[in-house]
Each structure stands twice: as structure tokens, then as C-alpha cells.
Amino acid sequence: MSAPLVDRLRDRGYRLTAQRRVVAEVLAGDNTHLSADEVHTRAAAVLPEISRATVYSTLQQFSALGEVRELALGGAAKLYDPNVEPRHHHLVCDRCDAVYDVARGVDAPDLPAQEHHGMVLDAAEIIYHGVCAACADTAVIADPEE
Amino acid sequence: MSAPLVDRLRDRGYRLTAQRRVVAEVLAGDNTHLSADEVHTRAAAVLPEISRATVYSTLQQFSALGEVRELALGGAAKLYDPNVEPRHHHLVCDRCDAVYDVARGVDAPDLPAQEHHGMVLDAAEIIYHGVCAACADTAVIADPEE
DNA sequence: CGGCGACTTGGACAGTGTCCAAAGCTGGAG
DNA sequence: CTCCAGCTTTGGACACTGTCCAAGTCGCCG
Ligand SMILES: [Mn+2]
Ligand SMILES: [Mn+2]
Ligand SMILES: [Zn+2]
Ligand SMILES: [Zn+2]
């Protein structure tokens, strides 16, 4: 579709550094839902000297630019989703933190204005919690009674 | 309504320690959405020698018992919500992490079975993201142009 | 009251994320 | 093409959240 992320960065006055290119490349690999650390590991495979600090700040920038979506699902680390369009929700396994996308169409109801508590709302995010197939299986193996 | 938390603990075979009583007391104070650290601070005001480890494990137990709900909203720390019934969703300020409750009635749509990705679903959680009144104000002060 | 074993403690430890001074590099000016 | 202002990166220190464990404590039952 439109110009790649690197072009949009240049157009917005950002310098095109090797680090930004590599992070963009990792994200563009369509590998959904990576943590900052995973992004760093993959980026370092291409550009070994890239630092953690740079990956963190780059992800924040891309997120602020709307190029990537930051997800705070239950896990310890935030996840970065390069799939910003179309907007979608997620299923999360509460045992192993596996994440799946919810296909478009499902959405949260709008909140009536009197429920806003004075806030300016921006977006609603639904997280469907559950147990994934793999985790359900291991549970059966570990507890085969009944 | 029903018996207080302390009674339910005894009934389930848990020992009634001073630490559990104090944590229960802090939560019962209807102070919604406390982090583990805040719970520790408040508990320590009553029982100064209570340890962080105990507060963390106690909160996990209460959460597993359904006495409290663990919330992973955007902030760094998980929050504990003593208001488990009725189930409700939340509004979160992405600037200052303020949290508000959504009144009952609002709920996420059920996911069609073919969207489950093999998971056994347990609960859906909606997070309405936005900017609270206080944060919106400070932004205006900091950026009075236009 | 005594003892078993559940519970707590305190500190070490791991993971995530932020910060900053110094060094490096990009991109535009000349 | 060169130069350089200042945007970026680096690496390490640091803060915070949460987990773990061995040792000591204490609730509860007999
Ligand atoms: Mn996604
Ligand atoms: Mn609540
Ligand atoms: Zn799982
Ligand atoms: Zn706010």
C-alpha cells in the first residue's frame, strides 16, 4: 500500500539510522506480538551492536507515530503489534501468555458520556482471557484423575 | 452480606494470621485499585513487620480465591480490585494511570466459537483508554498555543 | 500445653524499563 | 565534497515489580 515505514520516518523529519531501519525490518517481518526484548534479540542478529536502550526508545517512537501498537496484556512485558490496521482485539492465555488476534468485526460498546468520568476517550481494548489448547493439555497430563 | 473474608478463609482451611487479617482489612477499606506496594504500605501502617513477600503471596491467594481481582491495566504494577461483584470494566488514563470503574451493564460481546483459536475462554475485559480531566488540563497549561 | 506443618521473613535475584553523559552519525549548508 | 550542529546511540547505572528460598515463627488440633 502506502510508502514503507522508513519513508514515513524521513518525511516526518526523523533521521534514518541503521538502528531504526533494523527495528522497522524486524517489525515488518509480520512477527506479531513481540516484546521489546525479542525485538532487540532479532535486531541484534542483523546489527549486533544495537543497544537495548535504542530498541526501547525506537519502539516508543514508532508507537507514538502509530506505526506499531503497544499492548499491555497480562504478561510481564509489553508487546508490540505491527498490525495496527485494522484495529483488533486479543485473546490471551493466562497460563503461558500466548496471544491470538480477534478477527475484525468484534468491538467494545461505546460508553455513554455520563460514564466518562471527565475523561477524553481514545480507544477501547478488549482482552479475552482463557487457557490455550496447549496449556489445557498439559493440565490434563499433570492431573489425569477423574 | 455474606460472612467476611476472614470467615471464608477459615472455612477453607486457611490459617488466620495477623498478616492475612491486615491485608483483608486494607482491601475491605474499599480503596479501589491498589498496587501490591500500596497494599504493603497501608498494611505496614498497622502491622509494621509485615513483609513484601507476604503481601504479594497473600494477594495472589485472595485473587485465586476470587476475593479480589487482579488487574493488568497499562501501568507498571498490577492493581488489586476488592470489588469483584458485580464484575465491571475500567477506564484508564494513559498519562497518569488513573483508573475509574465502568458501571455495570457495559460488557464485551461474546466471541463466536470459530474465533476461539482452541482456547477455553474464561472472561472478557474491556479497557477504555483515554486522558483524564487532570491530565488534559496540565497539557493545556504546558502547550497554550493556538 | 506441645508439636506439626503451614506461614512469614528478609534478602537475594531476575526481568522490565528508564535515564544520562559521552561518543557517534545523519543530513543539510556552504 | 566537506563540515558540523545537534539528533541518536551507547553502555551502564538505577528504579521498580515480582519471585524464590532457607530459616525461623506461630496457628491450630489433639
Ligand atoms: Mn494483534
Ligand atoms: Mn474496579
Ligand atoms: Zn497457554
Ligand atoms: Zn491522567
**8-state DSSP, A120:** E
| Pair B80, B129 in one domain | no
Phi, psi of B38 (to 5 degrees): -65, -40
SS (H, E, C) chain B: CCCCHHHHHHHCCCCCCHHHHHHHHHHHCCCCCEEHHHHHHHHHHHCCCCCHHHHHHHHHHHHHCCCCEEECCCCCCCEEECCCCCCCCEEEECCCCCEEECCCCCCCCCCCHHHCCCCEEEEEEEEEEEECHHHHHHHHHHCCCC
Write out pLDDT tens, residues A88-135: 999 999 999 999 999 988 999 999 999 999 999 999 999 999 999 999
| Pair B7, B73 in one domain | yes
Residue recorded with cell 514503507: A4
pLDDT score recorded for residue A3:
61
| Pair B55, B112 in one domain | no
Name the residues contacting strand C (CB < 7 Å): A 10, 15-18, 35-37, 52-53, 56, 60, 76-78; B 14-15, 17, 19-20, 47, 49-54, 57-58, 76
In terms of DSSP bridges, do strands B90-93 and B120-131 run parallel, antiparallel, or are they unpaired?
parallel
| Pair A73, A94 in one domain | no
Q: Could you say which of A84, A117, A134 is where a domain stops?
A: A84
Write out pLDDT tens, residues A39-89: 999 999 999 999 999 999 999 999 999 999 999 999 999 999 999 989 999
Chain A partners within 8 Å of B106 (Cβ) = 109, 111, 115
pLDDT score recorded for residue B32:
87
| Pair A90, A24 in one domain | no
Going by pLDDT thresholds of 50, 70 and 90, the confidence category of residue A32 is confident
Domain that holds residue A126: 86-146
The answer to whether the Cβ–Cβ distance between B124 and A129 falls below 8 Å is yes
Q: Could you say which of B33, B49, B84 is where a domain stops?
A: B84
Partner residues linked to B127 by β-bridges = A125, B90
pLDDT score recorded for residue B137:
83
Going by pLDDT thresholds of 50, 70 and 90, the confidence category of residue A6 is confident
Going by pLDDT thresholds of 50, 70 and 90, the confidence category of residue B41 is very high
| Pair A102, A66 in one domain | no
A54 CB below 7 A from strand D atoms: yes
Alpha-carbon span B11 to B20, nearest angstrom: 14
pLDDT score recorded for residue A69:
97
| Pair B46, B66 in one domain | yes
pLDDT at B31 over 90: no
| Pair A5, A77 in one domain | yes
pLDDT score recorded for residue B3:
62
pLDDT score recorded for residue A140:
58
Shortest-distance ligand to the CA of residue B119: 3
Going by pLDDT thresholds of 50, 70 and 90, the confidence category of residue B145 is very low
Phi, psi of B39 (to 5 degrees): -60, -40
pLDDT at B77 over 90: yes
Q: Which positions of strand C lie within 7 Å of protein CB atoms? A: 6-11, 15-20, 25-27
- Report the separation in Å between the CA atom of B133 and the middle of ligand 4, taken as the mean of its atom positions: 7
- Report the separation in Å between the CA atom of B112 and the middle of ligand 2, taken as the mean of its atom positions: 27
pLDDT score recorded for residue B84:
94
| Pair B47, B65 in one domain | yes
| Pair B54, B119 in one domain | no
User: Which sign does the torsion angle of CA A73, A78, A82, A84 carry?
Assistant: positive
Spatial contact of B94 and B131, defined as CB atoms under 8 Å apart: yes
**Separation of A15 CA and D27 C1' (Å):** 65
Going by pLDDT thresholds of 50, 70 and 90, the confidence category of residue A138 is confident
Alpha-carbon span B110 to A128, nearest angstrom: 9
Predicted structure pTM score? 0.92
| Pair A40, A79 in one domain | yes
pLDDT score recorded for residue B146:
40
| Pair B6, B50 in one domain | yes
The answer to whether the Cβ–Cβ distance between B106 and A111 falls below 8 Å is yes
The answer to whether the Cβ–Cβ distance between B118 and A111 falls below 8 Å is no
Q: Could you say which of A65, A84, A103 is where a domain stops?
A: A84
pLDDT score recorded for residue B140:
58
- The enclosing domain of A3 has a CATH number of 1.10.10.10
Residue recorded with cell 502547550: B143
- The enclosing domain of A117 has a CATH number of 3.30.1490
B18 CB below 7 A from strand D atoms: yes
**8-state DSSP, A134:** H
Structural domains in chain A (count): 2
* Mean pLDDT along residues A10-22: 95
Write out pLDDT tens, residues B84-125: 999 999 999 999 999 999 998 899 999 999 999 999 999 999
